[in-house]
Structures are given as C-alpha cells and as structure tokens.
Structure 1
Amino acid sequence: MSPHTVAPLLLGLAVIVVTAWLLGMLARRLGQPAVIGEIVGGVLLGPTLFGGAIPRTLFPAEVRPSLTLLADIGVCLFMFLIGLHLDHTLLRGQSRTASVVSVCAMLLPFGLGALLALYLAGGGGTGDRVAFVLFMGVAMAVTAFPVLARILTDKGLIDTPIGGLALACAAVGDVLAWALLAVVAALAGGGGHPWRVLFVVPFAAVLLGVVRPLLARLAARRPVSGPLTGVVLVAGAAGLLLSAQATSWMGLHAIFGAFLFGVAMPREGVSALRERVLPWIERICAVMLLPVFFMAAGLKVDLSRLDTVAFGELALILLVAVTGKFGGAYLGGRITGVRPRHSAVLGILMNTRGLTELIVLTVGLELGVLTPRLYSLMILMALVTTAMTGVLLRIVYPERRVIEDRSPRTGATRLHVNEGRSGLSDEY
C-alpha cells in the first residue's frame, strides 16, 4: 500500500464504522438485531445507489485490497470466537431432542436448496455444478448462532427451555453447516492440489488431541489472578493465524482453520484470557473489523440491476428458505414430542441467518460457485429471514407465554428429558 492511499483508506474506515453504528442503533430501535442495520449499511455503501458513485468516491480501487484484507481478518477472528464460544454443555440433558431437531432443520432445507439449485443452475452458478448444488443446500440450511443468541436475550428467552433448546440446535447445526461448506470448498477450490484436502481430518485431530492439551498446560502454569503474560497471547494469536493459513493451503477457506482453532482452545485455565482480553477482541471485531466485512460484501451487491425475473427468483428463494428451515425444525420438534407452539417457535428461531449466512455467501462468491446476481438475491434472503424472526415471535410466542414458561408454577425453568421426551412435550 503506497503512502498516498493511507488518507482515503482512513476516511473510508471512518465512514464504515459510523454508518454501521448508526444503522445498527436504528435497527435496535426498530426491534431488530443490530446486524440487520449493519448489513444494510454495507449494501447502501455499495454500487446500488447513485450509479455506484458512493464506492467510487469513498473506496477507490487502490484502497479496496486493503479493505478486503481487513475484512478477511475480521471474519477469521469472528469465526475463531464462534468456535471458542461453542458450548458442548448446551446438549446436556437434551441431546436427543437437539440432535433430531438439528438434523431435520438441516436435511429439509438442504434438500430443497439442492432442488432449487438444479432449477437455477442455468444462470446461477459459475463453477462446478455439483459444488453449486451442494452450496445452495448449505446456504439454505444455515442458522446464525450468535444472532440467535442475541435475539433470545432481547426477547427474554435465553433462560427458558425453548431458548436453551434453540441454542443447542443452532450449535449442532453450525458444526454440520461448516463441515458441509468445507466439502463444497474442497470441490470448488481445490485448484491444482486437490489431494491437500485429505489433511483436514488429521489436522483437526492434532488440534484437539495435541494442541489443546498443550495450551491447557501452558495456561495452567500462569496464575489465575496474576497478570496475563505475553506468552499466552502470542501462543493464541500465532495458533489462530497458522491454523487459518493451514486450511487455506489445504484448498479450503481460512475461516475453517480459525473456527477449528477456536474449538481447540481449552476451556479450563484460560480465565484471565476470557475475562480481560476476549471482551476487547470481541468489541474491536464488532466495531471495526466486521463493519469492514459488511462493506466489502456490499460492494459486490448491486440491487439496481435486478429485473422482474430476478425478483421472481427472490420470491422462490425466500419460499424455499423459510419453508425448509421452519418445516424441518417444526418436524424435528414434533418427532421428539415438543409441543406444537414450541415447535413453531423453534422453526422461527432456526430461520435466523444473519452474519453467518453472509460469510457463507461470501465464500461461495470467492470460490466462483455464485454469480454476483445470485449473490445479491441471497443477501436479500438473509436480511428478510433474519428480520422476520422478531416479528413472527411476537405473534406466535407473545410475552405472556414467555412469562408462563419461566414461572416456577410450570416447572419449565429448565428442559427435562424423560425417556426421550422433553419437558416441553406436555399437552398444549
């Protein structure tokens, strides 16, 4: 980066951060997750308005590589945090229900997405046909775990049985989705060395079986209440970067390595890191780096060129996305004995896509699996399905129902499992 590009880069970053903050705050005022406003901000800063004058002025060609690099770093850091916060204890006492709901909430939208891909294959994909079909299935099956957690907190559902079950299902679904996306990335982006993808399984085994115990022993040698030394920070930062580089070398995206390293981080012995460092990392990621990612994604979205045919395809995409995710989660809930209303709530919550969908779509565009036109339509789908969650929840699960489910009288302060049937399975 030459010295004369520093000034426009800093100006562009300032505009991005302020726009994301303002529109995120507006989204919260409207009862929506902040990520809705931030994604919209990225689209508005792109070529959709004024014939692309905004990005040409604020983000000239010479600064875009630097912005893309910052966006990639932000996404890798975000995926590391997702892996780090993945809590296997969410399945405790409700593993059967969560597993069945998760699988159903993946299989039905995945199948419908694959069928939709066969219909759209003539003009939707730019690469391998099989990769395109699999990718569309994954894109339809995604649930945004962090956005879902925030919605549950805002709606007062985080400590209810249905809230805990939804989080558990989303956690399992995230792992399945990333695994399937890794397969797509291997098919579409293997390049001249497709054999490298074979290293993924042993690499994950080394992270979990060797690196994780080493990090746990390293952290255990440091006093819990003492100052956080640079050794722990350097080990974590180096491990994150090397893991991301390793999966990139294997023909996958760097986000998979970041996610795997987050999962491999020990839960015990790193309390100082979690209490003192992670909140700042998360804040920097949310305030600075992720808005850059939204902008970088928005630069690839041009809604001004969509015609009536495109909006017809958007309606079909929305129908498949909502029907598949809601129907799969509802069916899984009913199979395991969850009440009809709570099964419907599960379907609504699992339909939340948000930032996770944006990451998946960006990977698809980078791999050449999506065209810019279909990418734009899928971005709109992610916005609509995430925004509709709060609206539908107020209708299907009003506040009085939340209060009833949290009251000691109902005995629903946690999810019980009895012979494979959850505590939500009493007659409605």
Structure 2
Amino acid sequence: MHQAMSTTEIFLLAMLLIFSVPYLVWRVCKTDYYAPLVVVQIIAGILLGPGVLGAAFPEYYQFVFNPAVIQSLNGIAWWAVMIFVMIAGIELDLVQAWEHRFESGVTAGLALGMPLIFGSAVALGMLGFVGWMGPGAQSWQFVLGVGMACAVTALPILILLMEKLEILRQPIGQRILRYASVDDIAIWGVLALIMLDWDRVTRQIGFLLVFAVVTIFYRRVMAWLQERDRWYVGLIWLAVCSFGADWAGLHFMVGAFLAGAVMDAHWFNQEKMDLMRHHVLLAIMPVFFLSTGLRTNWAMGGSVVFIVAAVLLVASVSGKLIGVQLAGKILKWEKGEASIIGWLLQTKALIMIIFVNILLDKKIITSETFTALLLMAIASTMLTVPVVAPKLQRMKEIIFRSK
C-alpha cells in the first residue's frame, strides 16, 4: 500500500494529522483555559516530530514525513510565518509608546533587560558543556541569543490571551501592548546584530540603505492606494523585503518584520487585520508548528533537555517578574499591578519560536538547545492565563487604570 501512494496523497495524510490531532485534543480535553489551540498545535508539532512519533513508530514516521513531503511543508511554513511576522510588525503601536516614552521605556527596558541577564547567565553555564552551542556561532552570539530568547514577549499571542481575559481594549491592555511593542523592536534589533556576517557586512549595510530609501517611496504609494489594494501590495512588499534580507544574510524573517514595521496600522481596517491574523493562525500556521516540531532533538536524553528547559524557565519567569517589579517601584504602581503586567509580558510562544528557528537555521544553537527553548516557551505561555485570571478578579480596578 505504501508504494502505491503518491507524494500528493502522503502530503495530504500529513496535513490530516497536522490539523486533526491538535483540534481533537483541544476540544475533547477542553484545554483552552491552560492552553489555547495555538499552544496545543505547538505541542502537537513536537509530538509528531522525530523525538516522539518518530521514536515510537519510526517506519510510519519516515513514510509520512519523507523528504519530499517535508520540503512541501517547509514551503508553506515559510510563507505562513512571513505573513504572521509582517502582521506583528504592522501592529506595533510606536506612536503610543512615544507619547508615553518614559513609562514605556522604563517598563520595557527592565522587562526585557532582567530576563536577558538571567538567561545569558544560564547560557554562559551551558557553554561549559558540549552539544548546546551551534557550530556556526561565536560564544557571544550563543549567549546573547539564548538570553534574548528568555526575554522575548510574543505580541500576537499576548493579544490573543488578553482578548480571552477581556482586557485587550481596556487601559491596562493598551499599556501592556505599548511595553510589548517597544520590546519587539529591541528583540528584532538584537537578532539583526546576532545575524551580522562580517564576510557579507557590505551587502547587509547595502540592503538596509536601499530598504530605507525604497521605504519612503513605498509609504507614499501605500498612503495613496485604496485599502483593498494595500493588502495585495503589502504581500508583494513582504516578498521583496524577505528576499532582500535573506540575500543579505540577515534571514528572511528579519525582512518580514521590517516589511510590517514600516507600515501604519491605520492603513488597514482593524477588524480585517484581526481576521487576517486569525485566518493565518487557522489555515497555515499549524504547518509551521509541525515543521518546528520536526526540528526537535532528544539525542542528549530527554531528562537533560528537560532539566535545561526548567532552568531556562526559572530564569525567564523570575527575570521578567523582577524587572517589572522594579519598574512598578520606579513608576509607583499599585500593589499587585506589576505582578499582573509581568505575567502577561511573560507570554512567549510564537515569536520566541520564530526567533529560535532563526538561531537554529544559522547554526548558532543546536537542536538540543532549540528543543529546551521550545519547551520553555510552551511552559511559560501555558502559565499565563491560570496565574493572571484570578489576579484580575481580585483587582478589577486595575483594568481601568490608564497609567
């Protein structure tokens, strides 16, 4: 029977697994409170990867996820994540962040800086053992990359969780979006620094200069176009920027973020933008989660990877909470406010997974480090709603505070 199935049929069988397994787990087990569908899809990607399904049923795993099918899935995954990262760039509200620049700067700086320091300290310890740093990395790139992975806040998933908690459009929700927006800029800036290739630095500087000039013309064209044309032209712009960044050695996802960051959110209807994000998450991002799961590696032994993931989780959570607590003292927030904001900013999931995919692509980290960071991202995201929901119930007046 195996020999009689075409690549197309096997590809569709893989798509059946990708979409049915996480949905059934999400619905039957009613995981939404602890793990929304997107988190279940990420976990399913790991379970369908070589470390679990591949180890339990190696013959069937190799049959379904053969090289031709994986190549097809990777193409869909690349385009899915490019669109998703572009939307994240568009949704950055830098105008609001600038209007509240002292508050936003202090909070975002400490919320990013403390877990970065804690995560970097763990990474320095990992350097003492073989198998964690990738063959293409210098020590500073590995330490900074792991540290930043611990500091990341996932803006799109943060939006999703705040919608669930019914605070997205409330003052506290808008404040948290400002802090996350500033952190997103820093995250991608650090990633660009890590990606700098001194053998191709001239090409990279050239790309950034051309991008800056072309952006001026592009923004004028977009402001002139009707909204229905902006969506299509935006996708063309996405492909151009991603190609340019990858050609320059900065990685196509850096280009995707830049493509979105130079677009104004008011060019697009907010409801349509929300639907676009929802449809991308629904229709094509599950393929990216599966392709991420296929890259996990348990070669060092599951226990070692889990121990490192737990240490990284402690560094990430404690660093974020301490940083935001310090911000709260400087800005004189009410008691309990910093805890709510710190836990919400702890949300990682997608953006961190995208971030560490890039580090793995560039051989800055190994598959084992990638797996540990992936487990850390899932755990930190799953903790958010169960911890924050009861805190919000006890302190409802905080929801309406504007600063």
TM superposition score normalised by structure 2: 0.89
State the secondary structure of the residue aligned to 1:46: coil
Find the partner of 1:173 among 172, 183, 186. Answer: 183
Note closer, same or farther for the CA distance 1:329–1:31 as it changes in structure 2 (3 Å cut).
same
Q: 2-side partners of 1:352 and 1:268: how far apart?
A: 26
Note closer, same or farther for the CA distance 1:80–1:27 as it changes in structure 2 (3 Å cut).
farther
What is the aligned partner in structure 1 of residue 104 from structure 2?
A: 98
AA at the equivalent of 1:13 = M
What is the aligned partner in structure 1 of residue 84 from structure 2?
A: 78
Deviations 1:65-89 (A, max 9, x none): 1111111111101011111222234
What is the aligned partner in structure 2 of residue 399 from structure 1?
A: 393
Q: 1-side partners of 2:232 and 2:348: how far apart?
A: 33
Find the partner of 2:235 among 234, 237, 247. Answer: 237
CA-CA distance at 1:102 after TM superposition? 0.3
AA at the equivalent of 2:156 = P
AA at the equivalent of 1:215 = M
Deviations 1:31-79 (A, max 9, x none): 4332211111101111232515253232112211111111111110101
What is the aligned partner in structure 2 of residue 418 from structure 1?
A: none
State the secondary structure of the residue aligned to 1:62: helix
Alignment of 1:335 onto 2:330: yes
Note closer, same or farther for the CA distance 1:275–1:64 as it changes in structure 2 (3 Å cut).
same
What is the aligned partner in structure 1 of residue 45 from structure 2?
A: 42
Give 5+ residue unaligned stretches, structure 2.
none
TM superposition score normalised by structure 1: 0.84
- Alpha-carbon contact 1:42-1:294 (below 8 Å) kept: yes
Alignment of 1:206 onto 2:216: no
Find the partner of 2:64 among 53, 58, 67. Answer: 58
Percent identity, aligned pairs only?
A: 26
What is the aligned partner in structure 1 of residue 10 from structure 2?
A: 8
Range with greater deviation from structure 2 (172-181 or 86-95): 86-95
What is the aligned partner in structure 2 of residue 132 from structure 1?
A: 142
Range with greater deviation from structure 2 (30-39 or 197-206): 197-206
Q: 1-side partners of 2:351 and 2:81: how far apart?
A: 10
Q: 2-side partners of 1:6 and 1:309: how far apart?
A: 38
Note closer, same or farther for the CA distance 1:275–1:114 as it changes in structure 2 (3 Å cut).
closer
AA at the equivalent of 1:199 = G
- Alpha-carbon contact 1:17-1:287 (below 8 Å) kept: no
Q: 2-side partners of 1:16 and 1:275: how far apart?
A: 28
AA at the equivalent of 1:381 = M
What is the aligned partner in structure 2 of residue 250 from structure 1?
A: 248
AA at the equivalent of 2:37 = A
What is the aligned partner in structure 2 of residue 426 from structure 1?
A: none
Find the partner of 2:154 among 125, 144, 148. Answer: 144
Q: 2-side partners of 1:212 and 1:27: how far apart?
A: 44
Q: 1-side partners of 2:78 and 2:301: how far apart?
A: 28
- Alpha-carbon contact 1:131-1:369 (below 8 Å) kept: yes
- Alpha-carbon contact 1:76-1:258 (below 8 Å) kept: yes
Deviations 1:172-202 (A, max 9, x none): 1111101101111224xx6x52322213542
- Alpha-carbon contact 2:237-2:259 (below 8 Å) kept: yes
Q: 2-side partners of 1:56 and 1:27: how far apart?
A: 31
- Alpha-carbon contact 2:33-2:385 (below 8 Å) kept: no
Note closer, same or farther for the CA distance 1:275–1:109 as it changes in structure 2 (3 Å cut).
closer
State the secondary structure of the residue aligned to 2:347: coil
CA-CA distance at 1:296 after TM superposition? 0.5
AA at the equivalent of 1:195 = T
Q: 2-side partners of 1:193 and 1:200: how far apart?
A: 11
CA-CA distance at 1:314 after TM superposition? 2.5
State the secondary structure of the residue aligned to 1:29: coil
Q: 2-side partners of 1:27 and 1:207: how far apart?
A: 48
CA-CA distance at 1:236 after TM superposition? 2.3
Alignment of 1:317 onto 2:312: yes
- Alpha-carbon contact 2:305-2:371 (below 8 Å) kept: no
Q: 2-side partners of 1:340 and 1:250: how far apart?
A: 48
Deviations 1:126-151 (A, max 9, x none): 12222111111211110011111121
AA at the equivalent of 2:248 = M
